[in-house]
Structure 1
Amino acid sequence: MVVRVRVTVQGAVHGVGFRFGTRVEAQRLGVAGWVRNRSDGAVEAELEGEASAVNSMLAWFDEGPPGASVTMLTTTDLTPTGEQGFQIRS
């Protein structure tokens, strides 16, 4: 079953390679979507793929890359769009 979620990650998540690590992990798991830094210090992403792969991504977001300190993870279910590939947005 294909799902899509919007994720907001708060904590010490800028300047630690969070977006790059997200793209690497998404490509490894076959998850489509995008990730970007927000001006409020959070990281925001949309993830689309098989439910098990998206759940694995959410587990990765809970920890983040080395150097990150995640304090809150918020998810919102969305309607899948059929997006392909994964990109870092500015």
Structure 2
Amino acid sequence: MIDAACVVALVTIAAAMLLCVYRLALGPDILDRVLALDTLVINSIGLIVVVGLWYRSTMYFEAALLFAMVGFVTTVAFCKYLLRGNVIE
């Protein structure tokens, strides 16, 4: 039963990632593209977690945590760059 749920979750997350890539490529504004990139990172984290559940391995959860930390820092740095013109003051 968990295998079927993982397959459905993988398909749903893949569809969400395709929509995020579409918004990233054709976003009308730079802020829409930043939001699409952040949402793509969140969807990637969800994808890694679902794969970890499917394979029943804890290694994937550690990778998802690392990816979440890096994704958050890059989003904050990119937003600071857009607002101020530099990242480090």
**Fold match, TM over 0.5?**
no
Higher Cα radius of gyration: 2
TM-score with structure 2 length normalisation?
0.31
Taking structure 1 as the reference length, the TM-score comes to 0.31
Higher share of residues assigned strand = 1
